[in-house]
Each structure stands twice: as structure tokens, then as C-alpha cells.
Chains A and B, each alone.
Chain A
Amino acid sequence: NAGVTQNPKFQVLKTGQSMTLQCAQDMNHNSMYWYRQDPGMGLRLIYYSASEGTTDKGEVPNGYNVSRLNKREFSLRLESAAPSQTSVYFCASSEEPDSYNEQFFGPGTRLTVL
């Protein structure tokens, strides 16, 4: 039982390049989330998927797209990377999108955009 896994762990991009961050969970959770963590800012929600087949914008969605490929997988795509997207990205999942269920976090992807 691996929990939430993310790939890659580290990535360096040049401005304008594209990439997809992968996330998968093996806990049969319905809801999945993408956050970014910047120094002194806490974590901010980029996109979330309350259930398979649905996605919605969070607090900072500009410059990102997501795909809920199936119940297990939720990917985050940067179409044209910018230095402002240098951050640590965390994927999370929860059984249901409500206030009672714990969110489980992956180990993170550290992205640098030059």
C-alpha cells in the first residue's frame, strides 16, 4: 500500500517548456487535489477533483491544466512553464470531499523553471 505517489521527484525546465506531473493513489479515494508550496506561503490549491470525471479550479489555477485520468490518477500539466511556477507541488487525496475526511499527501515534486 504505497498511498499517494508522485513522479518525478525533481525537475528542471526552461521557460516555455511543457511537462506533466503525475500523481496516483491506491486507497480507492474519490477526491484528489493539487497544491503548490512556496516559501512563507503555506500550501495553495491549484485544482481539485471531487470525484472521477469532475475537475474544478482552486485558488491559483492560471497556467495549469489537469486531467482526472481514472479514479487512481490525477495529472497536472504546465503548457508553457514560467519562472513564477518554480515551486514544490503536492498531490493529495481523500475518501470524500468533505470536512471530516483526512487528506493524504504525496512526497512532492520540486520544480525549477529557469
Chain B
Amino acid sequence: GNSVTQMEGPVTLSEEAFLTINCTYTATGYPSLFWYVQYPGEGLQLLLKATKADDKGSNKGFEATYRKETTSFHLEKGSVQVSDSAVYFCALIRGSTLGRLYFGRGTQLTVWP
């Protein structure tokens, strides 16, 4: 079946530290991969996406590369800010599942000044 596994949190970093949140997936065929972010008390927002192997999604200093050989889509940022504190969700869609997103469990990130 289709599933997403994320590194468990919470992750606590100091401002300007390097961030990596690991994400691996299981799916047949060629899924599209997403990172969503949820700020406190809000709904989810799309952070970045990649729709085919070797694509790199990027937004707001965050990056993730679709690695089919390792079935991974790790989220990275070179220098985090306090405003990046949120919950981050990795997710996938396969074209045959009519838009159904499969989510990982989420990783809580807290950045201290």
C-alpha cells in the first residue's frame, strides 16, 4: 500500500541552525511528494512539492529532493528562524487514488532565539 514515514519529533533547534526532517515513502508507481506546514491554530499550507524523480522543490529557504532510489523526500533548511516553529507533514499522492493525500505523522519543530 501507500504510506509515509517521518522522523519522530519533537525537534528543537537554536536560531540559524541547520534543519533536516527525514521522510521516506512506500508507493507503487510514481507518486507526487509534498511537504505541508501547520502553524499553531491554523490549517495546513503547502510548503513545497515535487512531481517526479530528481525534482527539487523549494520555498522560503526550505528544500527537498525526490529520490526514487532511496524512496525519500527529506526536508532541509540551512538556517532556521523562530518563525519556522510549526508542525511539518510529509505526504504523497498517487494519480490513481483520486487526489487522496497520504500523510506522515508530522514533526513538531521548535526554534529558540
Distance to closest chain B CB from A93 (angstroms): 10
Answer whether residue B45 sits at the interface, using C-beta atoms and an 8 A cutoff.
yes
The digit string for A75-114, where 1 denotes a CB below 8 A from any CB of B, is 0000000000000001010101111111111111000000
Answer whether residue A41 sits at the interface, using C-beta atoms and an 8 A cutoff.
yes
Distance A44 CA – B2 CA, assembled complex (angstroms): 13
Q: What are the residues of chain B within 8 A of A33 when measuring CB–CB?
A: 99-101
Interface size class of A (residues with CB under 8 A): 20 to 34
What residue in chain A is nearest B90 (Cβ atoms)? A42
Distance A45 CA – B46 CA, assembled complex (angstroms): 17
What residue in chain A is nearest B8 (Cβ atoms)? A40
A-B contacts counted at CB < 8 A amount to 67
Task: Say whether A42 contacts B93, CB under 8 Å.
Answer: no
Answer whether residue B49 sits at the interface, using C-beta atoms and an 8 A cutoff.
yes
Answer whether residue A31 sits at the interface, using C-beta atoms and an 8 A cutoff.
yes
* Interface set, chain B 63-93, CB cutoff 8 A to A: 89, 93
Point out residues on A near B: beta carbons under 8 Å: 4, 31, 33, 35, 40-45, 48, 50, 56, 58, 90, 92, 94, 96-108
Point out residues on B near A: beta carbons under 8 Å: 4, 31-32, 34, 36, 42-46, 49, 51, 89, 93-95, 98-101, 103-106
